[in-house]
Amino acid sequence: MEIQLWRSILCPYELAVKELEVKFTHIIEECKENDIYCPIEQVEGRVKSVSSILEKMQRKHIPMEKMEEELEDIAGIRIICQFEEDIETVASMIQKRSDMTIKSEKNYLKHIKQSGYRSYHLIIYYTVDTINGPKKLQAEIQIRTMAMNFWATIEHSLQYKYKGDMPEHVAERLSNAADAINALDHEMSSVRNEIMDAQNSSQMQSNLVKDILINIENLYKIANKREIMKIQDEFLRVFRTKDLQQLKRFHRQLDIISEGYRAQAVYHHV
């Protein structure tokens, strides 16, 4: 195949990778905007190099005319998560999307590879619009934790160095490192619950404060000013304690006071 032909074949894959990177990165931005925990930490993408395509086709005896059909990872996206639990969340996000369809999955978390490799792979169908019209192509999405990614990157370099003939002592060290990475992921998962708790509490505090301030502002229009000053001082005192339970109690009491004023207003009106 001529070099120019390679370029035109790979061009839609370049577009797919760019679009997918934007879409997954936007999820991170959307989560930040909405103050919620994001299961995606980082997104990377690449189009397989021509030499890597040729090597894989030779290894798998794939004829040229079957390249796009049988090489499922010409376009590749890697989604890095902080915690192992996030992988499933990301996979179900992908499943629900209307702009990509899942063709198949490989779960190397449940079925760890001989090498020690752990990751979750999805092959998707994705359509890009080119100057020749829409083109439906395949892309591989690898979802893994930061720790899994660290291991896979090192192992991949060593595979390249030893060209499939890795000395036993190196393979054994990598296998030990894979066990350590597995243990690290589990250890970090136990911290995850604490992080989620902290994030929920901070979200709850922010919502309570917002609510309280709206209430105080509304009361300011109808209640005695001196009473409002007292309520405001009490709010600042409770807020400074950093005690969520006290803030909740104050919020409830303020609700009752506001209700009373509303009832009073209706009573006077009648």
Question: Rule CB under 6 A: is residue 87 a binding residue for ligand 0O2?
Answer: no
Helix residue ranges per DSSP H, the chain: 3-33, 50-59, 67-70, 84-96, 146-162, 168-222, 225-241, 244-269
Task: Tell me which stretch binds ligand 0O2 (CB under 6 A): 24-32, 109-117, 169-177, 254-262.
Answer: 109-117
Rounded to whole angstroms, how far apart are CA atoms 152 and 105? 18
Interface mask (CB under 6 A) for ligand 0O2, residues 18-57, using x and -? ------------------------------x---x---x-
Which single residue is written with the structure tokens 């006077």?
268
Applying CB under 6 A, among 16, 75, 77, 121 the residue interacting with ligand 0O2 is 121
Residue 165 burial by CB count (10 A; 0-12/13-18/19+): exposed, middle or buried?
A: exposed
171 lines the binding site for ligand 0O2 (CB under 6 A): no
- Of the chain, the end-to-end C-alpha distance in Å amounts to 88
Which range in 113-121, 206-214, 235-243, 252-260 contacts ligand 0O2 by CB under 6 A?
A: 113-121
From the candidates 21, 30, 85, 140, give the one annotated as an active-site residue: 140
Q: Does residue 66 interact with ligand 0O2 by CB under 6 A?
A: no
Residue among 2 and 168 whose Cβ is closer to ligand 0O2: 168
State both tokens at 128: 């890009």
29 is catalytic: no
Burial class (CB in 10 A: 0-12, 13-18, 19+), 65: exposed
The answer to the question of residue 75 lying near ligand 0O2 (CB under 6 A) is: no
Residues that bind ligand 0O2 (CB under 6 A): 48, 52, 56, 73, 106, 113, 115, 117, 121, 152, 155-156
